[in-house]
Chains A and B, each alone.
Chain A
Amino acid sequence: GAVVSQHPSWVICKSGTSVKIECRSLDFQATTMFWYRQFPKQSLMLMATSNEGSKATYEQGVEKDKFLINHASLTLSTLTVTSAHPEDSSFYICSAKRVGLTTNEKLFFGSGTQLSVL
């Protein structure tokens, strides 16, 4: 089956630093990738939709200058948490939609990144 690799799986950083999270589709092309945030014991909240070669679409309430998304190729999207603060600590998950399919039937998820900001 299709594989989405997310890296790193966990990261600890100091407050004020920036952290980059990568999401790669390993064996398929993904024109669209999604970034979610999950707080402990809560659901996934969609942060933004990342489209290859164009600007990301952010959900209401998500600061685009805080969470920079780049989708430079059909297999890679990155999320950079800029000037991270403790309230940014969370579990971040990406998902990728296979090219050529119009439904979310073929939406594949990465294994997530646990970010802890000290």
Chain B
Amino acid sequence: GEDVEQSLFLSVREGDSSVINCTYTDSSSTYLYWYKQEPGAGLQLLTYIFSNMDMKQDQRLTVLLNKKDKHLSLRIADTQTGDSAIYFCAVPSGGYNKLIFGAGTRLAVHP
């Protein structure tokens, strides 16, 4: 089945860029997603990218997809303290009905 892996922790200085990486195994995935979870809360869809795209930019967020290497990354420009959260990479598996999540990357932003 699908396997999604992420680094678990990232610490950045306020104002710097953050890059969160994700690798996956199922090459048939059509959409790939990034979700954000703040403490004690549910998940919020941040952005997504279609598999025929290499890059998608949405304000401070840039998603890069290397389909050959099955590598997905999320770049947050000008990281703010409000960006501190857990970021999950998610990939559909076995059709559109099932999302497989990575373990989540905990982003800590310090002054």
Contact = CB atoms under 8 A, between A and B. Distances in A.
Q: How large is the interface on B (under 10, 10 to 19, 20 to 34, 35 or more residues)?
A: 20 to 34
A44 B101 contact: yes
Interface residues of A, number: 24
Contacts of B101: 43-44
A108 B96 CA distance: 14
Given A103-B30, A103-B31, A105-B48, A43 B43 contact: no
Q: Which of B44, B97, B100, B102 is packed against the most chain A CB atoms within 10 Å? A: B97
Contacts of A102: 96
* A interface majority secondary structure: strand
Nearest to B102: A43
A112 B102 CA distance: 18
A112 B103 contact: no
Contacts of B99: 34, 46, 104, 107
A49 B97 contact: yes
A109 interface: yes
Contact of A6 (B40, B42, B48): B42
Contacts of B33: 104
B42 A111 contact: yes
